[in-house]
Amino acid sequence: MPPGIDAMREIVFDTETTGLDPLQGHRLVEVGCVELINRIPSGNTFHRYINPERSIPPDATAIHGIDDARVKSEKIFAAIVDEMLDFIGDAPLVAHNAMFDLGFLNAELERVKKKPLPRERMVDTLVLARRKHPAGPNRLDDLCSRYGIDNSRRSKHGALLDAEILAEVYLELIGGRQATLVLVETVEGKGGAQRAGAVTTRPRPEPLPARLTDAEREAHRKFVDTLGKDPLWRNYLPGT
């Protein structure tokens, strides 16, 4: 990275669960995370199936295809939590209908006596989509259709696949591939937080070489001479 500019890291993630409400005892069965660096997928991912320590209802299996047999031999959440937290670090977390996923993650973190993830870290692509496309629809599949993103592999929900697709949707929601440009410096603020600062412009060490030839300049001068006594363009000729 250029001096004074830090890489921006974000984590796009998705979860699959045994049901809709962690307060009713439903648990995580899968988590998938995709790392973005300066709004570009880095290739680093985190993906785990999780033994929920309870049965998976058939209606949940119908959505994501994960049944009791699939996760019976997988690790429980307590066994993968440190690895997951190390991967996400302190990066902003991007999810579709983020409060649903955050509710399940924090319920699991509470069970293993870990600090909850604050809501302030969440970027909800459903909220972004509703602001940008208030007439909807704004489901993930609908947004893929809107932006021409291939989701043909998505016959069932899957945490890592959905996170990969959501990363593409997220980039479109925030302005497409132009969002990968990093044009601001980051300034360390209160508590070590990073915020955007003013751009520092630096003069070019050497001027760029001229692209016009002497013959082209002379031809332009002769053309300006044909435009009358005092043409405006004469003010822009070298040496005038």
Minimal CA–CA distance to 78: which of 47, 103, 100, 53?
53
Q: Could you give the CA distance from residue 76 to residue 31 in angstroms, rounded to a whole number? A: 12
Contact 188, 182 (CB under 8 A): no
Query: Distance between terminal CA atoms of the chain?
Result: 43
Cross-strand bridge partners of residue 28: 17
Burial class (CB in 10 A: 0-12, 13-18, 19+), 173: buried
Residue type, 194: Q
Catalytic residue among 47, 96, 133, 157: 157
Q: Which two tokens stand for residue 134?
A: 């208030």
**Two structure tokens written together for 150:** 């291939």
Separation between Cα atoms, residue 235 and residue 230, nearest integer Å: 9
Please calculate the CA angle 33-35-38 and round it to the nearest 5 degrees: 150
Active site residue 47: no
- Residues noted as catalytic: 157
